[in-house]
Chain A
Amino acid sequence: MAGASLYGQADVPDAPDVPGAPAGGGLPYGLDRLSNPWTRFLTRRLARLLVSVFVVVTATFLMIHLIPGDPVRAALGLTAPADLVESRRESLGLNEPLITQYVSYLGGLFTGDLGTSMISGTPVSEIIADRLPQTALLGSLAFLTAVAIAVPLGLAMALLTRDGRRRGVELGFTSTAAVMSAIPEFLLGVALVAVFAVSLGWFPVAGMSGASSFVLPVLALALGPAMALARILRVEALRVLGEDYVRTARAKRLPRRLVYRRHVFPNALTSMLTIGGLVLGAMLIGTVLVENVFAWPGLGMTIVESILQKDYPLVQGVVLVYGTSVLFLNLAVDVVLGIADPRSTIRES
């Protein structure tokens, strides 16, 4: 319920049931029309995004400073000569006061400068630009696959097992889904490689080369989340089936498919969206593991390599990219949710 209608003026809208009252009578409705809830919603949401991005930037900046001891010494090894360490510290700007470093870090971000790799000497932004597309492609394909599996499967299972019908099917589905979603993507990847690449030789073991090389990584990334989403969607759809407004739809004696299509599915999908957003974020980060199983030339390989090599500027850059992508994903989910569920824009603002 909109907060405004709980108290004060807001209990007037019922009173205009009295004759002669102006249309709608209440202040809240008039207000809503004056300042579009969407504008308010988007403003608030963007402001929040800005704050979040700022926090992420600060956190990645601080990451290198939170490492106990001297990160440069750690990166170069105990045997590295002292003057090399010193000159490296100098070039990374680590000898400046913290606040100066922070300001120049922020300044660099605005010009797209994320520093240079300590190992290869290449600008971090170049490495990221080179690697990001592969990861984005893998992630989005996997997401589409997961949704393409989860939505029909979850809804079909809800309908088949509604009102406690087909207990066998229900048990089979829930336990399969539970097991599947409990297998982490990298294990699934290893198993898929062992079966379909090594034993059967249908797909390449690793690397990105042509369409067939996408099949196993995408499946490894998508199957678990797909089952998890299908399970959630089924539960949501069953919950919606028990809602009063579905009873209303039945009371209207609409054909069953209309009841499902108009009244059950949209609301079930809407309530799945929030969790879907989390799953999507987890899939994005899941690429780190899957890329390392399949030697996929993406950001996930880069981040692990750079962490192992203690190439801190690169680590910072990649973490920043991952972090902000998660934030933008969440924003996208919120906007979709706002479109799908008319109440959420009001709730937000």
Chain B
Amino acid sequence: MRTARWRAALRTPLGATAAAGSLALLVLAVAGPVLWGSAAEETDVASMNQPPSGDHLFGTDDLGRDVLARVLVATRTSLGLALGATAIGIALGLILGTLPVVLGQRLGRMVVALVNFLVAFPALLLALFFAVIFGLDARGAMLAIGMAIAPSFARLVQTLSASVAGRDYVSAARIAGVGRFRLIRRHVLPNIAEPLVVNATMGAGGALLAFAGLSFLGLGVQPPTYDWGRLLGEGLGRIYVNPAAALAPGVAVVVAGLVFALLGETCAAVLGVRTGRGPVAGRARHAEQPESGKEAAGTGGDTVLHVDNLTVAFPAERGTSRAVDGVTLGVRAGEAVGIVGESGSGKSLTALSAAGLAPASATVSADRLDVAGVPVLASSEAQLRDRLGTSVAMVFQDPTSSLNPSMRVGRQLGEIAQTHDGTSRAEGLRRAVERLTWVHIPDPQMRAGQFPHEFSGGMRQRAMIGMGLMGRPQLMIADEPTTALDVTVQREILRLLRDVQHDSGAAILLISHDIAVVSQICDRVLVMYAGRIVEELPVDRLDGGAVHPYTRALLASVPDMSTPQDVPLATIAGRPPEPSERSPGCAFAPRCAFADDLCRSTDPVLEVVGPQQRAACWHPQRAESVSGGTAGEMPGGTAGQSPEQTPARVTTGDDQ
């Protein structure tokens, strides 16, 4: 697999160039002195300092020696010294870098401090410093450059190994009694090797340039030996006579430097290391839906969110994968609706798309997607801003990352009033303080002047909700608003959301993986599985009234405060399908005890199964009530099922 990736990399323009360049450099370094050695040494007083000519492509130097030949011959010295310096730098860097892990806390911290101190100085300054000590010749310069690049390499090793050392598998190995050196050899080094290789390659390029610099200044290679830097320095003195004599070694340095850089990039590409290139995202395109042009407000008055056949697709390896696949839902004014599902079920994407905030790489389409009477898909961003304004508020999962870290909280709220209501900055801030009071943030005046990191997690989430209240929201979409919070804080946030709904009349769309959380403030629950809604039911039907096998299994598999201790939890065998690997038929069929050929071939549609209840299932399970947590009603192997499809009643696990 590894070799295949290298081979594939060679076929890319980047890889091919890097490989060809390295090969050329190698050949030159080996054969250069043999082929042109005598031409480079041959002095000719008759043709001193000549400009380029047929005989001498880049002219001659002050002893009449051919510049081109000298540049070619110098390849071996230049590369050899650069690689030598790199080797010294890497060896020192590895030692300094892994020392903290070996030495333990106190001594280790001193090594880290030393490296941090050294790394603050530019490599050239360190190189000059060490060159003075080691002497002005090729060996001295090699040592000097090696020591100059060592700190940054050591720092890299330290950062990488510290991040690996913090991972649980290293802790686990330590608990298992693995010694320090074995820990480094078996766990740390293999897991940081790839970025190190990449950086070493690029570091060699850097060493080459540094060496050229030192030699150019006369502090590196001394005559009669010469490298590219030396030639460059000599050429610069005669730049009026023969500019080519200065440019040729310069070009050689740049080309060699680039080859190392490209080689590094190729390694990075093959090994999957990031080097600071931009993220690769798919082409952004929101599918416009032309048909909803004429009558935008025909949503039946009190519906604030109207979603009809919503599909969200992402570019995948083969074609596209549909993360949300034909979702239809509606939220009436003042209503609280919950969407429940596991990770990857498409619940968050549904919510984001409804607010027109799907990621740019997603393709969103729907027969109809109206929010507060405004067709989201058919409107431009500016139109949405004018027509929708602040009628939709969003609350996200992680309040820490959802607030701008470099802006005061009051300002982040206040800018909404400034933008949408055209208030002054002072009025915006006054309103912000008022909203912070509404969401029960103590001492709001002071808090408004603080930055998000000075807030606790619960308070940040309150501030987010307060932000949503800056306008007059008709709909508040809360995407896992309590998942990052402790239970006691969770309850406070849920109560706040409920109060907001009551007081402001805003409808709430609450997304959560926790069915109990949703049941606390919602009137209706939508259960999503694999990008689709599989069941929709009133909250009071959750206890015993669910008919879809997935909903029932979900309810039974989560222990609650009354689950009997002596009965195993019900489990659902297998795991949810990835969007790309969905097969025809009901997506839950492979994990379902009641699935038959119909389920595996034909998609069930959402149909009414009771008052205000709909389910997408060929075999809805009505009748007996689900009494929390018993596995009993999940029948084991039904006739006709192959063993691997038999859902485990007890504990065969989640193997696929």
Binding site for B on A (CB under 8 A): 1-2, 5, 13-17, 21-26, 29, 32, 52, 55, 59, 63, 66-68, 161-165, 170, 174, 178-179, 182-184, 186-187, 190-191, 193-194, 198-199, 205, 231-232, 234-235, 238-239, 242-245, 247-256, 258, 262-263, 266-267, 270, 278, 281-282, 284-286, 288-289, 292-293, 303-304, 307-308, 312, 315, 319, 322-323, 326-327, 330, 340-343, 346
- Contact yes or no, A245 B443, CB < 8 A: no
Distance (Å) between the CB of B396 and the closest chain A CB?
6
Q: Tell whether B533 is near chain A: CB-to-CB under 8 Å.
A: no
Other-chain residue from A199, A307, A327 in contact with B131 (beta carbon distance below 8 A): A307
Q: Does B167 contact A (CB under 8 A)?
A: no
Query: Which residues from chain A contact B394 at a C-beta distance below 8 Å?
Result: 247-248, 251
B405 touches A234 (CB 8 A): no
Residue of A nearest to B217 (CB): A304
Q: For B283, list chain A residues within 8 Å (CB).
A: 163-165
Contact between B276 and A235, CB atoms less than 8 A apart:
yes
Residue with the greatest number of chain B CB neighbours at <10 A, chosen from A59, A193, A244: A244
Residue of A55, A307, A326 with most chain B CB atoms under a 10 A cut-off? A307
Contact check, A258 vs B419: say whether CB atoms are below 8 A apart. Answer: yes
Q: Are A23 and B443 in contact (CB under 8 A)?
A: yes
B132 and A14 form a contact (CB under 8 A) = no
Interface segment among B188-196, B448-456, B568-576: the answer is B448-456
Segment at the A interface, from B249-257, B501-509, B577-585, B637-645: B249-257
Q: Which residues of A contact B175 (CB under 8 A)?
A: none
Within 222-239 of B, Cβ neighbours of A (below 8 Å) are at: 232, 235-236, 239
Q: Which of B22-30, B316-324, B486-494 contacts A (4 or more CB under 8 A)?
A: B486-494
> Among the listed B218, B246, B402, which residue makes an inter-chain contact with A244, where contact means beta carbons less than 8 Å apart?
B402
Which residue of chain B lies nearest to A66 when distances are taken between CB atoms in the complex?
Answer: B133
Which of A162, A286, A342 contacts B451 (CB under 8 A)?
A342
Shortest Cβ gap from A59 to chain B (Å): 7
Closest chain B residue to A293, Cβ basis: B236
- 5 other A-B residue contacts (CB within 8 Å) besides A14-B485, A244-B398: A21-B442, A198-B243, A253-B419, A256-B381, A319-B128
Q: Say which residue of A22, A67, A266, A342 sits within 8 Å of B453 (CB atoms).
A: A342
Quick check: A263 and B209 within 8 Å, CB to CB?
Answer: no
Chain B residues whose CB sits within 8 angstroms of the CB of A55 once the complex forms: 117
Interchain nearest-CB distance for A95 vs B (Å): 21
Tell me if B446 is interfacial: C-beta within 8 Å of chain A.
yes
- State A63–B205 Cα separation when bound (angstroms): 28
* Interface core residue of A245, A256, A258 (most chain B CB under 10 Å): A245
A328 to B394: give the CA distance in the assembly, Å.
Answer: 45
Question: In whole Å, how far is A262's beta carbon from the nearest beta carbon of chain B?
Answer: 7
Known: A17-B489, A244-B396, A319-B128. A163 touches B281 (CB 8 A): yes
A190 touches B246 (CB 8 A): yes
Distance to closest chain A CB from B204 (angstroms): 13
| Chain A contacts for B489, CB-based, 8 A | 14, 17
Contact check, A262 vs B446: say whether CB atoms are below 8 A apart: no
A231 to B121, CA, bound (A): 22
- The segment from B98-106, B177-185, B302-310, B355-363 found at the interface with A is B355-363
A252/B281 in contact, CB under 8 A: no
Is B403 engaged at the interface, CB distance under 8 Å to the other chain?
Answer: yes
* Cβ–Cβ contact A242 & B254, under 8 A: no
Partner of A17, one of B132, B257, B382, B492: B492
Tally A-B pairs: CB < 8 A: 242
B416 interface residue per 8 A CB criterion: yes
Contact A253-B404, Cβ < 8 Å, known A14-B486, A262-B415: no
Q: How far is the CB of A313 from chain B (nearest CB, A)?
A: 12
Q: Say yes or no: is B9 at the interface (Cβ < 8 Å to chain A).
A: no
Task: Find the residue from B390, B404, B443, B453 having the highest chain A CB count within 10 A.
Answer: B404
With A25-B442, A63-B132, A307-B128 as contacts: A235 and B277 at CB distance below 8 Å: yes
Contact flag A170-B129 (CB < 8 Å), given A17-B489, A182-B261, A184-B209: no
- What's the least CB distance linking B463 to chain A, in Å? 11
Please state if B254 and A248 are interface contacts (CB–CB under 8 Å).
Answer: no
- The chain B residue sitting closest to A162, CB to CB, is B360
Among B125, B213, B357, B485, contact of A186 (Cβ-Cβ < 8 Å): B213
Q: Judging by beta carbons under 8 Å apart, are B261 and A178 in contact? A: yes
Q: Is B620 an interface residue (CB 8 A)?
A: no
Q: Name the residue of chain B whose CB is nearest to the CB of A68.
A: B135
If A190-B247, A191-B250, A346-B453 touch, whether A315 touches B132 (CB-CB below 8 Å) is yes
Chain A, interface SS category: helix
Pairwise interchain contact A13-B247, C-beta atoms closer than 8 A = no
Among A26, A164, A293, A322, residue most surrounded by chain B Cβ atoms (within 10 Å): A164
Question: Given known contacts A29-B454, A252-B390, A319-B128, is B246 in contact with A194 (CB within 8 Å)?
Answer: yes
- A-side contacts of B132, CB under 8 Å: 63, 67, 307, 312, 315, 319
Which residues does B use to contact A, with CB under 8 Å? Answer: 117, 120-125, 128-129, 131-133, 135-136, 205, 209, 212-213, 216-219, 232, 235-236, 239-240, 243, 246-247, 250, 253-254, 257-258, 261, 276-284, 355, 357, 360-361, 381-382, 384-385, 388-390, 392-394, 396, 398, 401-407, 415-416, 419-420, 440, 442-443, 446-447, 451, 453-454, 456-459, 464, 467, 485-486, 488-489, 492
Set of chain A residues within 8 Å of B279, measured between Cβ atoms: 238-239, 242
Contact B282 A164 (CB under 8 A): yes
With beta carbons under 8 angstroms apart, the residue of B247, B390, B492 that contacts A253 is B390
Once the chains are docked, how many angstroms separate the CA of A165 from the CA of B467? 31
A254 near B125 with CB under 8 A, answer: no
- The distance from the CB of B415 to the nearest CB of chain A, in whole angstroms, is 7
| Assembled-state Cα–Cα distance A26/B450 (Å) | 15
Question: For residue A183, which residues in chain B have a CB less than 8 angstroms away from its CB?
Answer: 254, 257
In the complex, the answer to whether B236 meets A254 with C-beta atoms within 8 Å is no
23 contacts between A and B (CB under 8 A): A5-B456, A14-B489, A17-B489, A22-B442, A32-B454, A184-B257, A187-B250, A205-B239, A242-B279, A243-B401, A245-B402, A245-B404, A247-B402, A248-B396, A248-B403, A251-B393, A267-B405, A284-B122, A288-B124, A315-B132, A319-B129, A330-B120, A341-B405
Q: Which of A22, A250, A326, A340 contacts B357 (CB 8 A)?
A: A250
Chain B residues contacting A266 (CB-CB under 8 Å) are 406-407
Which chain B residues lie closer than 8 Å to A184 at the CB level? 209, 212-213, 253, 257
User: In the complex, what residues of B have CB within 8 A of residue A245's CB?
Assistant: 401-405
A59–B396 Cα distance when bound, in Å, is 53
Chain A neighbourhood of B261, CB < 8 A: 178, 182
A161 to B133, CA, bound (A): 48
Closest to A25 in B: B442
Q: Which of B392, B447, B459, B492 has the most CB of A within 10 A?
A: B459
A174 close to B390 (CB less than 8 A): no
A252 touches B405 (CB 8 A): no
Q: Give which listed residue, A22, A174, A308, A342, contacts B405 with CB less than 8 A.
A: A342
The residue that A249 contacts in the complex, of B355, B392, B404, B456, with Cβ under 8 A, is: B404
Report whether B451 and A23 are in contact in the complex, using a CB–CB cutoff of 8 Å.
no
Tell whether A285 pairs with B213 under 8 Å between CB atoms, given A32-B454, A190-B232, A342-B453: no
Q: Which residues of A contact B392 (CB under 8 A)?
A: 251
Of A21, A52, A248, A270, which contacts B402 at CB under 8 A?
A248
